[in-house]
Amino acid sequence: MRVIVMTSDNYLWALRPFCYLFNIYWSSLQPVLVVGYAKPDFPLPSNFEFMSVGPQTGPEQWSGTLIAALNHISDSHFVLMLEDYWLQRTVDHVGIQGLTNYCQMHSEVIRLDLTDDRLHARGDARDARDYEPWGHYDLIITTNDFQYQFSIQAGIWNKQHMLNLLQPGKSPWEVELYTKVPDGLVVLGTRQFPLRYANALLKGKFIERQWARIPEEHRKLIVDSGWLKEAIYETGITG
């Protein structure tokens, strides 16, 4: 199963801490396809492949870029992430493979959230209903009228379903807000959420409380390596 990471020219720098933390907390053997526009001017780890879809023109080309990536891979399912999802603790990659097996066995699952996004879909964990247990996970479901059913927080996706529903010319925010999950398909999550990360950026702004979730030793290395933009240093972050 492939992990697809979406990036843009403005945030290529975020790939350095992403790759570093990914290979520590997930695995340096996990194949990752980074999809963007301009190629990074620094080397990526050997398990990372970069796919350029041409020059960047605007946020509205985001959905078309993802469509190109999906047509590039043969996997029936994949994990979607963004370049500012910086892992903060060990990933249950065996559990994620088990959840992927579940999705492959249940074609009605369009997305299985790997974070607490579904658990707190409306700000209240009581809105998510128990669905069924699978391995050491308790699957939960939110109905299709819930907000952000098409959320791009990290999750396992059915490639064909996503291709059927994605419309070209949409920004990531439009994809999340306006893509409707049709009747007959379901979005699931888990009560344990096997993937935990710092969502480091919000509308281009560095979020210090998210940064603080990353263990201090890794924060120090990232800062000392000069992987953060000058604008971030101005916030006073030292490690």
The answer to the question of residue 170 being in a domain is: yes
Residue 64, SS3?
helix
Q: What is the mean pLDDT of residues 10-26?
A: 96
Specify the amino acid at residue 97. Answer: Q
The answer to the question of residue 239 being in a domain is: no
Q: How confident is the model at residue 147 (pLDDT cuts 50, 70, 90)?
A: confident
The answer to the question of residue 199 being in a domain is: yes
- The whole-number pLDDT of residue 148 equals 81
Query: Quick one: which of 224, 230, 173, 225 has its CA closest to 238?
Result: 224
User: What is the pLDDT of the chain when averaged over all its residues?
Assistant: 91
Residue 171: pLDDT above 90? Answer: yes
The answer to the question of residue 238 being in a domain is: no
pLDDT in tens, 44-101: 999 999 999 999 998 899 999 999 999 999 999 999 999 999 999 999 999 999 999 9
Cα 150 from chain centroid? 12
- The whole-number pLDDT of residue 113 equals 95
Q: How many domains does the chain have?
A: 1
Taking a C-beta distance cutoff of 8 angstroms, is the pair 69, 51 a contact? yes
Instruction: Please report, for the domain that includes residue 117, its CATH number.
Output: 3.90.550
What's the pTM value of the predicted model, to 2 decimals? 0.93
Domain of residue 203, residue span: 2-233
The answer to the question of residue 110 being in a domain is: yes
Q: 16-30, 120-134, 200-214 — which is least confidently predicted?
A: 120-134
The answer to the question of residue 18 being in a domain is: yes
